[in-house]
Each structure stands twice: as structure tokens, then as C-alpha cells.
Amino acid sequence: MSTHTIELTTRDGELLRFDCDADQSLLEAAADAHIVLPSQCRQGSCGACYADATRGDYILGEHNPAALPAGAAEKGGILLCRTFPLSDLSVSLPFDHDRILLGEIRRRNADIAAIEPVGENTVRLTLHLAPDDGGSVAEFEPGQFVELEVPGQAIRRAYSLANTGNWEGRLEFLIRLQPGGLFSTWLREQAHAGQTLIVHGPQGAFGLSENGLRPRWFVAGGTGLAPMLSMLRRMAEFQEPHPVRLYFGVNRVEELFCLTELEALKAELPQLQVILCVWKPNQDWQGFCGTPADALAQDLDDLNARPDIYLCGPPALIDAAEAAARSQGVPVEQVFSERFLPA
Amino acid sequence: MFCYQCEQTYRSETASGCASTKGMCGKDATTSDLQDLLIHGAKGIAQYAKRARALNAPDNEAGGFILYALFTTLTNVNFNATRFTVLLQQTASIRDRVKARYEAAALAAGKVPESLTGPAAWQPAADMEGLLGQAAEVGINAGLEQVGPDIIGLRSLVLYGLKGVCAYAHHAHVLGKESEAVYAGIEDALDFLSSEPTDADALLNQSLALGFLNLSVMELLDAANTGTFGAQQPTQVRVTPIPGKAILVSGHDLGDLAALLEQTRDTGINIYTHGEMLPAHAYPKLKAYPHLAGNYGGAWQDQQKDFADFPGPILMTSNCIIEPQPQYRQRIFTAGPVGWPGVRHISDKNFAPLIQAARALPGFKETAETEKTITIGFGRDAVLGVADQVIDAVKSGAIRHFFLIGGCDGAAPGRNYYTEFAEKAPMDTVVLTLGCNKYRFNQHDFGDIGGIPRLLDMGQCNDTYSAIKVAVALAEAFDCDVNDLPLSLVVSWFEQKAAAVLLTLLALGIRNIRLGPTLPAFLTPNLVQALVDRYGLQPITTAQADIDAALAPKAA
């Protein structure tokens, strides 16, 4: 079995090296070296471990093509969980060093505090972390996710956090109830306040980039709103002065949710502009008709803007928004995305 | 970016200075460039402020802003590009206010206002790309090809010394002490730099002027510290934790510590000092708080391990912050000039979030560890209080020599020199410490000489004034010059506060200082030679060789 040296370079220029056997994925070998890289499904489906190979040969194993940006695989785009080295490799990571955990992913218990419907087929799940050796605090970066596991059942799903780190141990999620989905079914039929879940995390590299005062435009499809809410709430908490827009889209008007929260955010973050987008609106709809990617493309063109763009939602939305950003000349390093894919 | 202001800057056989996408300190190119532009903007304020002051229309509020702004650009203080973008807008706004004040004063005095150029005419670009474009024109090595490395090195010496002066003056300012003369001196220096000086003698003279200015700033700071909290007293400080909720305070800002102690009174939360905050335990009005529990961890460069292990929130009040690790990133807070992207900043001394975090975090558990203490607090009053005993010990030969080991610590292995120096210093010598380079050896037992401890900690680098006063008082007692005292200065430098202190020592005519672990990268061989010739400044060699040289009889 041949072993190869893998060299990772983070977005902020830090170097990490580890050895990887030919039959090991880069993600597994990094974990063996106590380097926990952001990932989610670990089976080539979700795109959370996307990176770019800049030198060396490798095999990119079976994966969901939608987990990679369009055309990326031909230009060195890889999924760390599905990449096996054929030689020494250099890999460029699209996140900063501080998103790499040098240790193990934290595992904690949390009790369900509330499950509330917030829109058609969408619920807000609130958990309270149980105190452990680290106390009762909820420590995470806005944009990150955790995996929720139902004890005793083979159900484990990743969800983005919608609130910000806090000292009460509160975790808030926006969850779309998928027809036939394991976690969705459990949530709809069995879950109740007081039940205990296992929380794995925080994890993930999606989050705010600190680039001075460049405007921040957030583009969310459906429950892709959750990490955007987290980042906007952080901006409000820190009273950050960046010009900021949120493009929030759903398919039908009835599916809109969290509008009260968005109004509250506008009060705390006065420069926030919210553009609600409905793809198939009814006749009464006064807002934008189309997807948030359509609205983004229109405003980038009209305003000749080059903001930092944050995208979260289904792959088709991300691809369309990335294409719009590209065509308007927004540098690729100013576009940050997280794809929602069924695991 | 181009930055070579600190000791750890990138060095190779062909080039010195951090000039890639990220400096050795972790500062990214964007932040570094915005810092350069902020200094440019501060020069613009100073150009008008100096002229306004000459017309009896000073703007001390602008002076206070300059102190703060320059402090944010020191090594390991502020890494937050967003904060700098905001500061740049403020800078232009303050400059416009001072300009209007100057022009009104000039007209009132029957004079035609000068039309100033250079930094005074700068207008911040509307977007980041524009700001970075402006920054590229005003870095420390701008004009290198025209004026050569020696002039750039001397401008750097002035600017970096000035940054240190501003940092110390800011520490005094937040405790309510300011001085018109200090503001005037700082405005003069920035105005001088804005003229892009090319005369080496003028630049050297400005450096020495800053050395003297720094002495008055240190005096101001000494008065601020002792006036607010009393004179330092020899004090036993616990270095093992007590079970219970805990907050760790690092940096130099005693005012922040005092505010936190007050806000945590009777809460059951213990407050620990870290790094340069250690001397706080020696001030009567601070140590009166029973929950100022002890000192935790080592020097600043150990913070990533110390902070990760600490079971409570951490407050960073000034330099030196290094990249917060994920293990404690959510529970570290910054205050004053400090900043890190994504880290909570408290700008109004309302530490409620910190206290809330302390209550939620586990704190220290019961431990079987035996209590350990160290002794600190040998400030000016404490040392001079036993001056007669010290003088007698010197005259009798019981004390052969004093070594003042002062300055900053750092991660470089070469800094073991200072530990080795302290440990190898003969038993008939006394080691005085000042600054954060003592943490490598301050828990060792050095014994005493006739009841006088062999290791006397005089405090933070902020307490340099105290050390100078002691040296001057001893020289008077022995009826000699400070350079004739049985005293050697062994200085480790890391950042710009140390540069300011070094300029003060040189301005006072102190000779034969040993400086290490390496000499500043901005000092060219010609400049080093000039300092060697004029002041006998020497790079460190080995601890034993330097001790032997210091103790060797002086040539007649």
C-alpha cells in the first residue's frame, strides 16, 4: 500500500500536512492525523467538503454531481470524502484555518425545548444543551451546522443553526418537513418537548468572511434561510456596519416563514434590505416574482455591485446564483456557498 | 503588504519583512494595508493639529484618537479589517474637524491658512478596492528606490517608536491622564513623517526626541497607575487556581481590570490575571478585591494553550492577541484597541456578557494541587524603600551587580537566552525584571542576598519609568552616572512598545545595552553600526559570555 503526503493550504494561507494511504479518503486520513476538516454526509452527496486539488494525481470516487459546482471537477474540484491519492497532493481549502478542528467533533446531549410550525411544512426546532464538562454554553460560528441524532434510532441528520452562539445553551433550527424523510417523520410523529437528542458539532466552514466593509448579500432558498439568519443575527449583535441584503425565496407565498424575525432584524440592523422572492406567486403577491438567483442577477446588473455573496439552498439555486455572480464579474473568492442536498 | 515592525518578521538571506498574503503575526494583507492607510490618515490629522495647537486651538480629542488609532496598528493588537475601514472614515472626519478649527484660528489671528498637501489632503476611497489602492502608495517602504534603505529604516525607527509612545499614552489616557506636551510631541513627529524626511541626522534627532517624549509619557502612565491604584507593593500572588467560576484577564489595561473586578464583586466569580496583567496584583486598590484570585498561564505566546485550558471566558485588553483557536473562540472577548474578526468586542466597559459566560462555563474544579505563589511588586517605592539596605549590600560587596532583564517575550527558541541569563547570573547578583520576558523563569527560586530577594519584578513594560527612577536614584546615591552603576541592561524586544523604551534609554545616554534575540529588521547594517558607535548597543551573544563581559572589570 503506497502512502502519499497531502499538503493543505487554507484560505488564509496556513499549511497542514499529513500522510494518506492510497485506499483512504483525504477526509479520513486528515481525521487520523487529528485534523477534522469541515464535512457533512461523508459519502459524496452534500458538497460540504468541497476543495480544489492544485497538484498531484487522484481518484475522485463516486459522488453526487450536484455536490460540486458546475464544471468544477474538470478543473481540480474535489470532495475530500471521495478523493483518494495516486501521488503526493496539494489541495487548496476554501475556508480559513480557524474552521479546522484539531481534535474530535464534540458530542453532547440536548433536550427539545419546542417544536413550532413557522410556515407550510416548516418547523422551528429549539433545543437546550445539557451541561457537561464544558458547561452549558452553545459555542458555534454563524453559518455552522450540527448533526442531530435520535438516540436508539438510526436517524442522524445535519441542520444549520439559525441563532448565534449563546450562554444559555440554546440551539435553533429551521427544518423543512420532507415527505417520507426519516428525521421529518420522526419530528412530525414522535418528537415532543423534553426528549433528548444527541448533538454532534458544531461543524462546517460556511460563515462570514471578514473583508472590511464590502457589502454582504445573502441569498437563501427555503430553509437555507437558517444560516443566513444566524449570520445576520451575528451582524446585529456585533452592530456591524456593512451594507447588507437578504434575498429570501420560496416556491409559493404560503411557504414564506420567519417574516416576523426578519422584521425584528431590520429594526436591529437598519441597513438590512430584505427582498422576498416567490417563484410561483399568486395574484396578490406584491414582491419579486422569480427565484432569489433571478433577483440577485437583476440587482448585480442594475447596481453594478461587487458584493460578497453568501448562498444557501438547493443546488439549482446555488448554480444559478454562482452563474449570475460570474457573469457580473464578482470574483470567485467573494462567493461563499452551502448546498442543501438530501443526505 | 509590507511590514517589518516586529521581531518575528520574515527574514531570509536576501530579504526582510512580511510581504505575502499574511504576516508572521497572522495579520492578513488587507488588514496590514488598511493599517498603513490609517497611519497615513493620522499624519493628516497631525499636520493640521500641530498648526492649530500653535495657534492656541488644540484639539485634544483628536490627540486621544491618534493614540488609539496608532495603538491599533501595533503588533498583535487588532486584526479586524472591518474595524479599520470604520476607523479610516473616522480619521477623515476628525481631520476635517481639526482642519476647520485650524483655519478658523488662523483667520482669527489674521493669518492666511496654509494649504496643506500630502496626508492632509487624503480622502478615503469609497470602496475596499479603492482603499487598498491608496494603501499601496503609503506603506512604510514607499519611496525606497528614491531614498534608499537607510532613510526608510530611520523613518521606520521613528514611526515604530512613535507607535509605542502612543500605546503607552493611550494606557494613561484611559485612566484619565493626558498632557498637552505629549499631544504636541506626537503631532510634531507625525507631521515630520508626513514631510517624507530624507535627512538622516534629522531623523535620528527625531528618534531621540521621541525617546524623551516617551519618558514623559511613561511618567504620565506611572502617575496614572499609581494615582489610581496606589504604589505597587511586594505581594505574594497565587499561581494555582481556586475551585469556582473564573474569568481570565490579559493585556495591560488596569482600568478594564478594575471595572471588571467591580462588576464581579460578590458574584462568586474569581478573576485571574494573565501575561502582562500579573503586576495588577501588586496595586493596593486592585488587590483589595478578594476575588482577584491569582495569575494563570505563561507569557502571551503560550495563550493558545493557556486559553484553551482555561475553564471560563477571557478578556483581552491590549496586546498581545494571537489567533483565537476554535476551542475558545466563542469565549474570548476583546476590549479597547484590540480586535479579531468574529470575536466579541466590548467597547463600553459593560462586561455583562463576560460575566454571563463565566456563569455558564464550568470554572475550576476541586484539585489536590498544592497552592503555589510567586512574589511580585518591586516597583520604585518598594525598591527605593530598601535603598539603604541595597546600597550597603553593594558597598559591602554582598551585591556585585544588577542585571535588568526587560522587554517582551516571544515564541522564538532564541529567547531561552533570557532564562539562561537569569539562571546563570552569579549568586551575588540581583536580577530585576520588567515586562513579559520573565514568565519563562519567574517561578524559579532565586533565593536572596541578606533578605533582599535576588529576583525583583518591577512590573509591566509599562513600568519602565519606575526602573529608570530607581537607576537614577542609585546613581545619585553612589554619586555617579547611570552608566557607571554596577548595572547591565539586557533587553529583549518584540514589538513597538519596546522600540519606544529603547529610544528612551538611548536618549538618556544609557550605553552598552544588550539587545536581542535579533536586531530589528528595519535597522540596516549602517544604522546598526551608527547605534553601536554612538551608544555601544550590542546584540546578545550567549548568556554566559554576556554575563562574563558585564562582570569583567571595566578598562580604566
Residue B21 lies in a domain: no
Contacts 24+ apart (CB under 8 A), B483-486: B483/B509, B483/B510, B483/B511, B483/B512, B485/B402, B486/B394, B486/B399, B486/B400, B486/B401, B486/B402
pLDDT, position B413: 61
In this chain, the answer to whether the domains covering A3-99 and A216-339 adopt an identical fold is no
Per-residue cell: A307: 458584493
User: What pLDDT, in 10s, does the model give residues A112-152?
Assistant: 999 999 988 999 999 999 988 878 899 999 999 999 999 88
| Domain A3-99 top-level CATH class | alpha beta
Residue A165 dihedral angles phi and psi, to the nearest 5°: -50, 140
pLDDT, position A142: 96
One domain, residues B206 and B347: no
Section B23-48 average pLDDT: 95
User: What pLDDT, in 10s, does the model give residues A38-97?
Assistant: 887 788 887 889 999 999 999 999 888 888 887 888 999 999 999 999 999 999 998 888
Does B325 sit within 8 Å of A212, measured CB to CB? Answer: no
Residue B381 lies in a domain: yes
How far, in Å, CA of B433 to CA of B428, rounded? 16
Name chain B contacts of A102, Cβ cutoff 8 Å: 325-326
ipTM confidence score: 0.80
Does A141 sit within 8 Å of B359, measured CB to CB? Answer: no
Closest alpha carbon within chain B to A136: B360
Percent of chain B with pLDDT over 90: 75
pLDDT, position B383: 85
Per-residue cell: B505: 534609554
Whether A136 and B360 have beta carbons less than 8 Å apart is answered as yes
- What's the pLDDT band for B411 if we cut at 50, 70, 90? low
Name chain A contacts of B326, Cβ cutoff 8 Å: 98-102
Residue A109 dihedral angles phi and psi, to the nearest 5°: -95, 150
Binding-face residues of B in 335-354 toward A, CB within 8 A: 341-342, 344-345, 353
One domain, residues B390 and B534: yes
One domain, residues B91 and B169: yes
Does A168 sit within 8 Å of B323, measured CB to CB? Answer: no
User: What pLDDT, in 10s, does the model give residues A264-305?
Assistant: 999 999 999 999 999 999 989 999 999 999 999 999 998 888
Section B522-548 average pLDDT: 93
Of A169, A168, A145, A167, which Cα lies nearest the Cα of A157? A145
Strand-pairing partners, residue A217, are A245, A309
Residues of A with CB under 8 A from a CB of B: 12-13, 97-103, 133-137, 139-141, 165, 167-169, 208, 210-214, 238, 240-242
Question: Could you give the strand order of the β-sheet that contains A89-92, starting from the edge strand earlier in sequence?
Answer: A15-21, A3-9, A89-92, A50-55, A77-79
Q: Name the CATH architecture for the domain at A107-203.
A: Beta Barrel (2.40)
Residue B505 lies in a domain: yes
Residue B6 lies in a domain: no
> Domain segments of chain A: what residues?
3-99, 107-203, 216-339
The CA distance from A87 to the nearest CA of chain B, in Å, is 28
Mutate which of A9, A11, A98 to test chain B, going by most B C-beta atoms within 10 A?
A: A98
pLDDT, position B556: 47
b/e map B222-250, b = 16+ CB within 10 Å: bebbbebbbbbbbbebbbebbebbbbbbb
Does A212 sit within 8 Å of B81, measured CB to CB? Answer: yes
User: What pLDDT, in 10s, does the model give residues B418-434?
Assistant: 888 999 999 999 999 88
One domain, residues B196 and B296: no
A244-253, B197-206, B460-469: least confident range:
B460-469
Residue A154 pLDDT greater than 80, yes or no: no
Examine the fold and report which residue of B176, B202, B227 is the final residue of a domain before the chain moves on. Answer: B227
CATH fold, domain A216-339, is Rossmann fold (3.40.50)
Section B5-13 average pLDDT: 88
Sign of the dihedral defined by the CA atoms of residues A299, A305, A309, A315, in that order: positive
Supply the mean pLDDT for chain B: 92
Examine the fold and report which residue of B193, B227, B261 is the final residue of a domain before the chain moves on. Answer: B227
Q: Scanning the structure block, which residue is given the C-alpha cell 418547523?
A: A123
User: What pLDDT, in 10s, does the model give residues B118-167?
Assistant: 999 999 998 888 999 999 999 999 999 999 999 999 999 999 999 999 99
Whether A269 and A241 have beta carbons less than 8 Å apart is answered as no
CATH of the domain at B244: 3.40.50.2030
B116 and A CB contact within 8 Å? no
pLDDT, position A254: 93
CATH of the domain at B103: 1.20.1270.20
Query: Domain residues for B458?
Result: 377-551
Which pTM value belongs to this model? 0.87
One domain, residues B190 and B60: yes
Closest alpha carbon within chain B to A240: B82
Residue B555 pLDDT greater than 60, yes or no: no
Sequence-separated (6 or more) residues with CB below 8 Å from residue B462: B168, B171, B218, B221, B225, B252, B276, B497
One domain, residues B255 and B278: yes
How far, in Å, CA of A13 to CA of B1, rounded? 14
Does B22 sit within 8 Å of A137, measured CB to CB? Answer: no
Sequence-separated (6 or more) residues with CB below 8 Å from residue A278: A249, A250, A251, A252, A253, A256, A285, A287, A288, A289
User: What pLDDT, in 10s, does the model give residues A3-46?
Assistant: 999 999 998 888 999 999 999 999 999 988 989 898 877 888 87
**Among B28, B131, B362, beta carbon nearest to A134:** B362
b/e map B12-22, b = 16+ CB within 10 Å: eeeebbbbeeb
One domain, residues B216 and B260: no
One domain, residues B212 and B259: no
- What's the pLDDT band for B233 if we cut at 50, 70, 90? very high
One domain, residues B424 and B295: no
One domain, residues B208 and B320: no
Q: Transcribe B72-107 into DSSP letters.
A: HTSTTTB--HHHHHHHHHHHHHHHHHHHHHHHHHHH
User: What pLDDT, in 10s, does the model give residues B177-199?
Assistant: 999 999 999 999 999 999 999 99
Does A210 sit within 8 Å of B362, measured CB to CB? Answer: no
User: What pLDDT, in 10s, does the model give residues B363-398?
Assistant: 999 877 789 999 898 888 888 888 889 899 999 999
Name chain B contacts of A100, Cβ cutoff 8 Å: 326
**Cα B465 to the chain's mean position, in Å?**
13
Does A98 sit within 8 Å of B325, measured CB to CB? Answer: yes
Tell the burial category of A34 from Cβ atoms under 10 Å away from its Cβ (0-12, 13-18, 19+): exposed
- What's the pLDDT band for B414 if we cut at 50, 70, 90? low
Q: Transcribe B420-442 into DSSP letters.
A: HHHHHS-TTEEEEEEEGGGTTTT
Residue B7 lies in a domain: no
Examine the fold and report which residue of B302, B335, B360 is the final residue of a domain before the chain moves on. Answer: B360
**Cα A175 to the chain's mean position, in Å?**
13
One domain, residues B349 and B487: no
One domain, residues B136 and B54: yes
* Number of structural domains found in chain B: 3
Residue B8 lies in a domain: no
